[in-house]
């Protein structure tokens, strides 16, 4: 289909009169039309721009219509191109051959306006139906892949923290007198850690599922991202303190135009990962500043880092999230980064990463700033 949204039809006929008549009839119906006077020219035009429908004369000097059709059917790029033969031949054998060579239909000369338009319209409608079916098939395949990924995460990564939580709680419940108060306190700490991991995983799973099913709407608003980052730093400060990690924030007041809840989820995951994959005594930093019409925010750490191969697959569409244990054996799914990438994209932003194994990572999020109000307002 052409850029204007019109169906694009190529007519191939060695008679100028036929090209003018056909072109005039088809353009009158609102279709975009191009013409070729021989088979070689037709193939060259199709190679540059594939039409939605081909009206192909049978009898032409050089490459006849049958040979052009054979070549198009042999090429995967044009194998399913709708072809209607134009013929003045009334012999049954020629019509049968037209179908055997791969033609979908034929139009007899001299042209009857109503019949010509009806046949072309029918095949364009069939083409549109086939394209819709292909889109639906692709969407179904994507949904099935997402479903498989969803259940894989639930089956593998949710089981691990729940298993630890269940094991510790059962041990205390069945033999409470066998443990000292110090041991019970230590076990309770581990149970709380497992519960937090399960809770965060469930939050990510539910938010990601809402995104995939179209139930998460984006409601952008103007807010100061430095305030949001400060809230997150305070939220994660106890976790960072337990690992002896210093978290610093350098962000002057700068306003963004985004869905605040989605942005909170993005930086919650990025900050959680930075702490998770940074060793005891390490550091995590957050920075935010405005650049032209964008707000650039960085979440950096000097932790485990990523290899080039891991970076390449991090946000690749359809890639199964890769789970890794943190520096204190914290479980992870990789789903958080997949969720972050989709949420940032929904808000018209970008998410990139630079990383080096053993040296740490820097995740950079850009988000739009509020539109500048007109002068005088």
In the 8-state DSSP scheme, what is residue 275?
A: H
Greatest mean pLDDT among 83-92, 289-298, 321-330:
289-298
Report which of 222, 366, 368 is spatially closest to residue 296, judged by C-alpha positions.
366
Residues 331, 337, 340: CA angle, nearest 5 degrees: 135
pLDDT of residue 98: 76
Q: Is the pLDDT of residue 328 over 50?
A: no
Residue 176 CB neighbour total at 10 angstroms: 9
Q: How would residue 209 be classed by pLDDT, with cut points 50, 70 and 90?
A: low
Angstrom distance (rounded) from CA 365 to CA 199:
25
What is the model's pLDDT at position 3? 46
Q: Where in the chain is the domain with CATH 3.30.565.10?
A: 220-377
Q: CA of 4: how far to CAs of 8, 29, 52, 222, in Å?
A: 10, 15, 13, 36
Separation in Å, CA 13 to CA 57, 66, 68, 335? 5, 13, 12, 57
Q: What is the mean pLDDT of residues 214-219?
A: 73
Spacing of C-alpha 154 from chain mean position: 22
pLDDT at site 168: 79
- The CATH number for 220-377, chosen from 3.30.565.10, 3.30.70.141, 3.40.190.10, 3.30.300.30, is 3.30.565.10
What's the pLDDT score for residue 61? Answer: 84
Nearest to 264 by CA among 240, 228, 226, 293: 228
Whether residue 298 is predicted with pLDDT greater than 90 in this model: the reply is: yes
On the question of pLDDT at 77 being above 70, the answer is yes
Band of residue 367 on the pLDDT scale cut at 50, 70, 90: very high
Residue 230 has pLDDT above 90, yes or no: yes
Q: What is the pLDDT, as a whole number, of residue 321?
A: 47
Q: Which residues contact 72 (CB under 8 A, 6 or more apart)?
A: 43, 46, 54, 78, 79, 81, 83, 102
- CA 169 remoteness from chain centre: 41
Q: Which residue has the tokens 């053993």?
A: 358
Closest CA to 100 of 111, 88, 92: 92
| Contact assessment for residue 323 and residue 157, using Cβ atoms and an 8 Å cutoff | yes
Cis preceding linkage at 110, omega within 30: yes
Class of the CATH-defined domain 8-111: alpha beta
Which segments of the chain belong to CATH 3.40.50.2300? 8-111
Q: What pLDDT is recorded for position 376?
A: 44
| Number of CB atoms found within 10 A of residue 196's CB | 14
What average pLDDT does this structure show over 258-265? 88
Q: What is the mean pLDDT of the chain?
A: 81
What pLDDT does residue 161 have? 63
């Amino acid at each position: 289909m052409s850029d204007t949204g019109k169906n694009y039809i190529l007519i191939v006929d060695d008679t100028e009169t036929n090209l003018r008549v056909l072109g005039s009839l088809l353009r009158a119906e609102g279709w975009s039309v191009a013409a070729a006077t021989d088979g070689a020219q037709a193939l060259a035009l199709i190679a540059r721009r594939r039409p939605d429908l081909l009206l192909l004369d049978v009898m032409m000097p050089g490459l006849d219509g049958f040979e052009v059709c054979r070549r198009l059917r042999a090429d995967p790029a044009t194998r399913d191109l709708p072809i209607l033969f134009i013929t003045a031949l009334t012999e049954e054998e020629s019509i049968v051959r037209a179908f055997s060579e791969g033609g979908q239909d034929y139009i007899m000369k001299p042209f009857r306006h109503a019949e010509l338009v009806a046949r072309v319209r029918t095949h364009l409608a069939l083409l549109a139906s086939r394209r819709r079916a292909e889109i639906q098939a692709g969407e179904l395949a994507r949904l099935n892949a997402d479903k498989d990924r969803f259940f894989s995460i639930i089956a593998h990564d949710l089981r691990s923290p729940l298993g630890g939580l269940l094991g510790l709680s059962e041990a205390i419940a069945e033999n409470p007198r066998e443990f000292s108060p110090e041991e019970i306190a230590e076990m309770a700490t581990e149970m709380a850690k497992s519960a937090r991991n399960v809770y965060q995983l469930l939050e990510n799973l539910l938010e990601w599922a809402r995104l995939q099913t179209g139930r998460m709407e984006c409601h952008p608003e103007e807010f100061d991202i430095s305030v949001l980052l400060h809230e997150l730093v305070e939220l994660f400060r106890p976790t960072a303190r337990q690992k002896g990690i210093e978290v610093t924030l350098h962000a002057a007041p700068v306003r963004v135009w985004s869905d605040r809840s989605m942005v909170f989820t993005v930086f919650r995951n990025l900050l959680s990962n930075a702490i998770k994959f940074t060793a005891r005594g390490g550091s995590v930093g957050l920075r935010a500043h405005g650049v032209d019409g964008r707000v650039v925010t960085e979440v950096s750490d000097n932790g485990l880092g990523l290899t080039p191969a891991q970076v390449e697959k991090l946000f690749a569409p359809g890639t199964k999230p890769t789970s890794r244990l943190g520096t204190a054996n914290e479980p992870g799914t990789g789903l958080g980064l997949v969720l972050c990438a989709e949420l940032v994209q929904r808000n018209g932003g970008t998410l990139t990463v630079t990383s080096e194994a053993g040296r740490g990572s820097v995740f950079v999020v850009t988000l739009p700033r509020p539109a500048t109000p007109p002068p005088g307002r």
